Amino acid sequence: MIALYPGSFDPVTYGHLDIIESASRMFDRTIVSILKNPNKTPLFSLEQRQAQIRTATAHLPNIEVTTFWGLTVTHARQQNAQVLIRGLRAISDFEFELQMAHTNKTLEPDLDTIFLACSNQHSFLSSSVVKEIARYGGPIDHLVPPNVKQDLETAFAPLD
């Protein structure tokens, strides 16, 4: 079975990677797909985010990383995915995620959404929190993999 895990991943965190590791055990193939979202101004380009996830998942042979634009359901159909994966951190994520799952079901009835929980220690973690800490030089080793830490340090390096 093929699963699609869509998101912004700006940048990928250990919370996302929890979900990717679980998906890798559950599905034959999991496609992590980075959305080009016209409503958000990302810190990292699509190419940078793709490289970050590829490096962080290099040990998982059934994980692929791609990018897309437009409706997630259309992309899922093009990729022959039968399942959409979304991560849940807390009950506060649930209302929005359930609304989106219902909407996607009306658009593509054969596509099912599966929610996966991250591990407890990553339940507070979001890409925005990581960027905020990195911007002010705080510790992020426990939040993102080493390659992403490096990219964040470069992005927020003080200008001479």
Residues at the interface with ligand ADP (CB under 6 A): 7-9, 13, 15-16, 19, 86-87, 89, 93, 118, 122, 125-127
**Closer residue to ligand ADP, CB minimum distance, 81 or 158:** 81
Q: Which of 89, 105, 131, 149 is catalytic?
A: 89
Contacts 24+ apart (CB under 8 A), 147-150: 147/52, 147/55, 147/56, 148/11, 148/12, 148/13, 148/52, 148/56
Q: Which of 16, 49, 75, 122 is catalytic?
A: 16
**Closer residue to ligand ADP, CB minimum distance, 120 or 158:** 120
User: CA 119, CA 133: separation in Å to the nearest integer?
Assistant: 21
Check if 122 is active-site: no
We find the least distance from the C-beta atom of residue 127 to ligand ADP, in angstroms, to be 5
Angle between helices 146-155 and 46-56 (to 10 degrees): 150
Which residue is at the shortest CB distance from ligand ADP?
A: 15
We find the least distance from the C-beta atom of residue 131 to ligand ADP, in angstroms, to be 11
We find the least distance from the C-beta atom of residue 159 to ligand ADP, in angstroms, to be 28
Residues 64 and 32: beta-carbon distance below 8 Å: yes
We find the least distance from the C-beta atom of residue 160 to ligand ADP, in angstroms, to be 32
**Closer residue to ligand ADP, CB minimum distance, 9 or 68:** 9
Residues 30 and 79: beta-carbon distance below 8 Å: no
Q: Give SS3 for 65.
A: strand
Check if 16 is active-site: yes
- Determine if residue 94 is left, alpha or beta; phi over 0 gives left, psi from -120 to 50 gives alpha, anything else beta: alpha
Catalytic residues: 16, 40, 89, 127
